[in-house]
């Protein structure tokens, strides 16, 4: 089974309700009727590589880049690979600002497939590092940056989770 990174933008009011009743997380992540989740982004298996490229470390980093994929406060029960985490609207704005200040070429230049394989960056198949892998990562990075820009403009919070 694959580990897929997901982000879900929610209003500050909805986040407050979730904090008061963490059991609501599962219903947001897995809607009963199978309906599409509004303001949802699936970053596939790129989640760990994006974190690594932004932070230069497999699991750690400095804010705000450490918040982009693996940050936030845990909430609720296990939703696949651990509990969801949330970023408050001010953290979302900080992330959006940091991502907008990072030039796409700078992000691309940080892509080091050999170092990523040595650091065991999921899914541990970056070694060839051809243009296909780079484009895969850049495409998801662009989507992620756009997602955060939109969420910040709406003053939304963000739920992050792996499933």
Write down all domains in the chain, each with its CATH number in brackets: 5-162 (3.40.1760.10)
With contact defined as beta carbons under 8 Å apart, do 30 and 108 qualify? no
Cross-strand pairs, 6: 42, 161
Tokens 């609720």 found at: 76
Q: Which residue has the higher pLDDT, 131 or 25?
A: 25
Average pLDDT in the 56-60 region? 97
- Claim: this prediction has a pTM higher than 0.85: yes
**By percentage, how much of the chain surpasses pLDDT 70?**
98
User: CA 30 to CA 58: how far, in whole Å?
Assistant: 28
Instruction: Tell me the longest C-alpha to C-alpha distance in the chain.
Output: 47
pLDDT at 129: 63
Whether residue 34 has pLDDT greater than 70: no
How far apart are alpha carbons 39 and 154 in whole angstroms?
A: 11
Q: What is the pLDDT of residue 37?
A: 76
Q: Give the CA distances from residue 24 to residues 2, 42, 76, 116, in Å, rounded to whole numbers and listed in that order.
A: 24, 20, 8, 36
Beta bridge partners of 158: 9, 87
Selected residue with higher pLDDT from 125 and 163: 163
Which pLDDT value is given to residue 1? 64
Strand partners for 87? 158
Q: What is the mean pLDDT of the chain?
A: 94
**Burial of 74: CB neighbours in 10 Å, binned 0-12, 13-18, 19+:** exposed
Residue 85 pLDDT more than 90? yes
Residue with the bigger pLDDT between 43 and 37: it is 43
How many CA atoms lie less than 13 Å away from 157 in the CB half-sphere?
19
């Amino acid at each position: 089974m694959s580990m897929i990174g997901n982000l879900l933008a929610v209003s500050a009011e909805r986040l407050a309700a979730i904090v008061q009743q963490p059991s609501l997380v599962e219903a947001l992540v897995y809607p009963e009727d199978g309906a599409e989740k509004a303001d949802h982004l699936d970053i596939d298996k790129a989640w760990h590589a994006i974190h690594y490229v932004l932070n230069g470390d497999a699991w750690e980093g400095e804010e705000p880049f450490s918040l982009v994929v693996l940050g936030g406060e845990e909430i609720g029960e296990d939703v696949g690979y651990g509990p969801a985490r949330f970023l408050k609207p001010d953290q979302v704005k900080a992330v959006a600002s940091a991502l907008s200040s990072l030039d796409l070429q700078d992000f691309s230049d940080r892509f080091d497939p050999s170092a990523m394989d040595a650091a065991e960056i999921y899914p541990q198949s970056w070694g060839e590092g051809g243009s296909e892998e780079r484009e895969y990562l850049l495409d998801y990075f662009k989507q992620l940056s756009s997602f955060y820009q939109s969420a910040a403009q709406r003053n939304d919070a963000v739920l992050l989770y792996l499933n």
